[in-house]
Amino acid sequence: MSQAVKSRRADQDARRTAILDAAAEVFFEQGYAAASIDAVIERIGGSKRNIYSMFGSKEGLFIALVTENARRLFDPLVNEGTVHKDLRETLTDFAIRLLHLFMSRRMAGVYRVVVSEAARLPDLAASFYRNGPDLAASWVADILAQACARGEIQVDDPKLAAQRFMGILRGNLYMEIVLDLSRPMDSAEIDNTARSAVDLFLNGVKTKS
């Protein structure tokens, strides 16, 4: 019996992730309002009934979609952030991973829909920001505060400095990606960009000597 129950639950989970995958394609491609439940169902077969019993409504599906994708995208960034002995190395490492994240199609998709629905779903926007970019900035701010305490750099406000570091990394390129005007960088370009961005930042905050 537990066998049967288990396999049924497994089916449910598989179905759920299939729906979310299909929904990602549709919603991230076309935006919330233009996306239709029918379009989601077309990609995986089955019935709309299914979506409504699992997610309650179009909005419910959307919120689940954004929440899970945001978590999956940002979790590794912060949790797998390794702190090296050398500040430059730590920041470069982070920069590379942040740029990879920003260059991913999935990230651009999530960002686009969160932006466009922010007015209607403020809680979703807030949770995206706090569990994503803001969390990452806090992680960097910690690193910077420690380096500051060691006298390696001089920053008045570590959080602000961290946000500016992330700003250097994004530059205008992230806007180009979000607007779909530019091909994402490949790994080699990301490495170079990360390195020179860290150079600029560390020069900027270095203690005078």
Partner DNA sequence: ATTGACTGGTAATCTGCGTTACCGTATCAA
Partner DNA sequence: TTGATACGGTAACGCAGATTACCAGTCAAT
- Binding site residues, a second copy, CB under 8 A: 29-34, 111-120, 122, 125-126, 128-129, 133-134, 137, 156, 160-161, 163-164, 166-173, 175-176, 178-181, 196-197, 199-206
Kindly state the DSSP code that residue 4 receives in the 8-state scheme.
Answer: H
Binds DNA by CB under 7 A, chosen from 20, 23, 35, 205: 35
- Least Cβ distance, residue 2 to DNA (angstroms): 9
All residues at 6 or more sequence positions from 42 whose CB lies less than 8 Å from its CB, including other chains: none
Taken in order 179, 185, 189, 194, is the CA torsion positive or negative?
A: positive
Give 57 or 207: the residue with its C-beta nearer to DNA.
57
- Is 85 among the residues that bind DNA (CB under 7 A)? no
Question: Is 119 one of the binding residues for DNA (CB under 7 A)?
Answer: no
Cα 91 to its chain centre, rounded Å, is 18
- Separation CA 185–CA 103 (nearest Å): 7
Question: Residue 91 in contact with residue 165, Cβ under 8 Å?
Answer: yes
**Least distance CB 9 / a second copy (angstroms):** 36
Which of 164, 167, 129 lies closest to 144, judged by CA? 164
Question: Residue 19 or residue 136: which is nearer to a second copy going by CB?
Answer: 136
User: Applying CB under 7 A, which of residues 50, 67, 104, 182 lies at the interface with DNA?
Assistant: 50
The C-alpha torsion from 159 through 163 and 169 to 172, rounded to 10°, is: -170
Least separation in angstroms between CB 70 and a second copy: 12
**Residue in 55, 42, 70 with CA at minimum distance from that of residue 12:** 55
The nearest distance, CB 80 to DNA, in angstroms, is 35
* Interface with DNA, residue 58, by CB under 7 A: yes
Angle subtended at Cα 162 by Cα 158 and Cα 167, rounded to the nearest 5 degrees: 145
> CB-wise, 34 or 175, nearer to DNA?
34
Residues that bind DNA (CB under 7 A): 1, 4-5, 8, 11-12, 15, 34-38, 45-50, 52-53, 57-59
